[in-house]
Amino acid sequence: MKDDRPVRDERVLVYSTDGSLPLPKAAPARRAQSGHPTVPDDGVVRVARERRRNSAVTTVHGLAPAEIDALGKELRRLCGTGGTAKNGVLELQGDHRDKVVAHFEKLGRRVKRAGG
């Protein structure tokens, strides 16, 4: 009687902590932006809109860590909305891209509208 089951490859890769097998190399560290691909550190402030749970969120990338809190407070007051700063990204509730871009242009900063 012939067995019609497919032949399984019995090689199994096992990692051990006793040093007998090499551990996999760690992936190179990426700059985390709340799940976004890496944002270049070129001095340009990028303002984008994201959809979360059927509502819009304005995200601001490219700010220095020292200025995130002060600018976040200023932008929340300007837009009349709530928001937060997570992982080096400023998030504002609602679609306020036009106001944020105009504010950074008034400050003399290089700014781009990112995304769609």
pTM of the model: 0.63
Is 68 among the domain residues?
A: yes
In contact, 15 and 21? CB cutoff 8 Å: yes
For the segment 38-88, what is each residue's pLDDT rounded down to a tens digit? 566 677 888 999 888 888 899 999 888 888 889 899 999 999 999 999 888
**CB under 8 Å, gap of 24 or more: what pairs does 72-80 form?**
74/103, 75/100, 75/103, 78/103
Is 3 among the domain residues?
A: no
Overall domain count for the chain = 1
Structural domain containing residue 49: 45-113
Rg of the chain on CA atoms, in Å? 23
Is 17 among the domain residues?
A: no
Is 100 among the domain residues?
A: yes
